[in-house]
């Protein structure tokens, strides 16, 4: 099983290098064309006794909802009565979303509500990071979880009944100006900073548009000269997205998940010639206490006598050489000694400390 795991890791590493060119759109995204997070605070009503236990902020929210319709709740009156719950509303506003379009929203209980199942969200504004209202939310919740409580206090909870979704539950009221139509240049940002890749992207764009149109300004961003106007820039960006580029090889990297024992090594890892000896030392202590009985009529006392047995088992493996030109050679050498993933991590750490392996060792 260990050999199969290590061989599988070798196969993953060997295919990690790019086998063909990637489109520019697969390497990153255009600056400004991003989603924006929206949040809101509201009240869910219509709950069957599973709402908040007369929390103050629920009461204030209910009073705010009632005031929209010209109703004034007298002081000291608590309108919640477990049939309403204060909630937080979240959504993602896509780039170029226009007023009138709809968004899916997530509704989560803020207080002590036991379940939002069967509830209805009353119209609530959703704000962006700038404090402006960008959408209005309302609708019936779809809750995947459920909970039931018996008279003796026992309860059963399936999934999470205090959070739900409302498909198309928010309507966009205001669009976000991306600014790409009026900025001096349009910028393309790589998903992962790489000096070689960003230069290749700029060169590929210049090969299509002509010299001097694209410039790599740092390890992530390519600035592209473009004519003004949203229509012409949109057409240009759509054209540039399909240009194919050979990205740079990934940096040598070893990723270890300590919780699952998974080790992934990419194909860029190289190990310089080194000699490795790996063994295991097991110390086993067996405690078998014995009972000592006194002789008849000796007026002695029964006593427990300690009886310990210590054994040492040391399994040594012959020293082997590393420094293969490919990941498969490295895995073959490790498999030769029957090392487990945990042993492999120890060997790689030792090789890195010795300077025989130049790779990033990431432990999750």
Which range among 34-38, 50-54, 126-130, 181-185 shows the weakest confidence by mean pLDDT?
50-54
Helix (H) or strand (E) holding 10: helix 2-14
> Which SS3 state, helix, strand or coil, does residue 3 take?
helix
Total length of the chain: 364
d(CA 86, CA 54): 10
Given CA atoms 59, 61, 64, 68 in this order, what sign does their dihedral have? negative
Q: Write b or e for each residue in 16-25: b if 16 or more Cβ atoms lie within 10 A of its Cβ, otherwise e.
A: beeeeeeebe
In this prediction, residue 152 carries a pLDDT of: 57
Mean pLDDT of 342-354: 71
**Which of these, 137, 150, 79, lies nearest to 108 by C-alpha position?**
137
Q: 199 pLDDT exceeds 60?
A: yes
As to burial, measured by CB atoms within 10 angstroms (0-12 exposed, 13-18 middle, 19+ buried), residue 290 is exposed
In this prediction, residue 3 carries a pLDDT of: 41
Split at pLDDT 50, 70, 90, the class of 22 is: confident
Given phi > 0 = left and psi -120 to 50 = alpha, else beta, which region is 82? left
Higher per-residue pLDDT: 123 or 330: 123
In this prediction, residue 9 carries a pLDDT of: 44
Higher per-residue pLDDT: 351 or 192: 192
Distances (CA, A) of 208 to 205, 236, 239: 5, 11, 10
> Which SS3 state, helix, strand or coil, does residue 315 take?
strand
Mean pLDDT of 10-33: 67
**Summary mean pLDDT of the chain:** 76
d(CA 103, CA 139): 12
In this prediction, residue 327 carries a pLDDT of: 58
In this prediction, residue 121 carries a pLDDT of: 92
- Taking only the tens place, the pLDDT of each residue in 262-271 is 777 777 777 7
Mean pLDDT of 250-257: 76
**Which of these, 247, 244, 248, lies nearest to 205 by C-alpha position?**
244
Q: Which two tokens stand for residue 251?
A: 């940096």
d(CA 139, CA 122): 7
% of the chain with per-residue pLDDT over 90: 18
Which range among 1-5, 235-239, 358-362 shows the weakest confidence by mean pLDDT?
1-5
Split at pLDDT 50, 70, 90, the class of 184 is: confident
Which range among 17-31, 68-82, 227-241 shows the weakest confidence by mean pLDDT?
68-82
| Residue 135 near residue 91, CB atoms below 8 Å | yes
Beta bridge partner(s), residue 285 = 310
Q: 1 pLDDT exceeds 60?
A: no
Residue 80 neighbours by CB under 8 Å, 6+ apart: 51, 52, 53, 54, 55, 58, 59, 62
% of the chain with per-residue pLDDT over 70: 65
Token pair 């170029």: residue: 96
In this prediction, residue 337 carries a pLDDT of: 62
In this prediction, residue 15 carries a pLDDT of: 42
Q: 7 pLDDT exceeds 50?
A: no
| Residue 178 near residue 95, CB atoms below 8 Å | yes
Q: 322 pLDDT exceeds 70?
A: no
């Amino acid at each position: 099983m260990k050999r199969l795991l290590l061989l599988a890791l070798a196969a993953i590493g060997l295919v990690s290098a790019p086998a063909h060119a990637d489109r520019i759109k697969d390497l990153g995204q255009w600056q400004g064309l991003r989603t924006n997070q929206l949040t809101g605070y509201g009240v869910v009503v219509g709950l069957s006794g599973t709402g908040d236990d007369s929390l103050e902020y629920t009461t204030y929210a209910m009073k705010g909802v009632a005031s929209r319709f010209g109703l004034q709740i007298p002081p000291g009156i608590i309108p919640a009565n477990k049939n309403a719950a204060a909630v937080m509303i979240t959504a993602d506003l896509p780039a170029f979303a226009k007023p009138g379009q709809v968004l899916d929203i997530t509704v989560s209980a803020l207080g002590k509500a036991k379940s939002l199942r069967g509830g209805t969200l009353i119209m609530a504004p959703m704000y962006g990071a700038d404090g402006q209202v960008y959408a209005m939310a309302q609708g019936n919740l779809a809750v995947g979880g459920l909970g039931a409580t018996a008279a003796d206090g026992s309860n059963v909870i399936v999934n999470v009944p205090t959070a739900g979704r409302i498909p198309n539950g928010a309507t966009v009221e205001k669009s976000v100006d991306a600014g790409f139509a009026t900025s001096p240049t349009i910028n393309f940002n790589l998903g992962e900073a790489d000096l070689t890749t960003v230069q290749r992207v700029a060169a590929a764009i210049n090969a299509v548009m002509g010299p001097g149109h694209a410039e790599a300004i740092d390890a992530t961003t390519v600035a592209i000269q473009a004519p003004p106007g949203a229509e012409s820039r949109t057409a240009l960006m759509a054209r540039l997205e399909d240009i194919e580029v050979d990205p740079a090889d990934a940096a040598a990297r070893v990723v270890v998940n300590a919780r699952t024992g998974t080790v992934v090594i990419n194909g860029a890892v190289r190990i310089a010639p080194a000699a490795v000896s790996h063994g295991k030392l097991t110390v086993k202590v067996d405690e078998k206490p014995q009972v000592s009985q006194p002789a008849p009529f000796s007026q002695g006392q029964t006593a427990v006598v300690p009886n310990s047995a210590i054994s040492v088992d040391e399994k040594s493996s012959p020293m082997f050489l590393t420094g293969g030109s490919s990941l498969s050679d490295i895995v073959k050498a490790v498999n030769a000694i029957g090392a487990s993933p945990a042993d492999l991590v120890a060997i790689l750490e030792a090789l890195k400390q010795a300077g025989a392996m130049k790779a990033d060792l990431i432990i999750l």
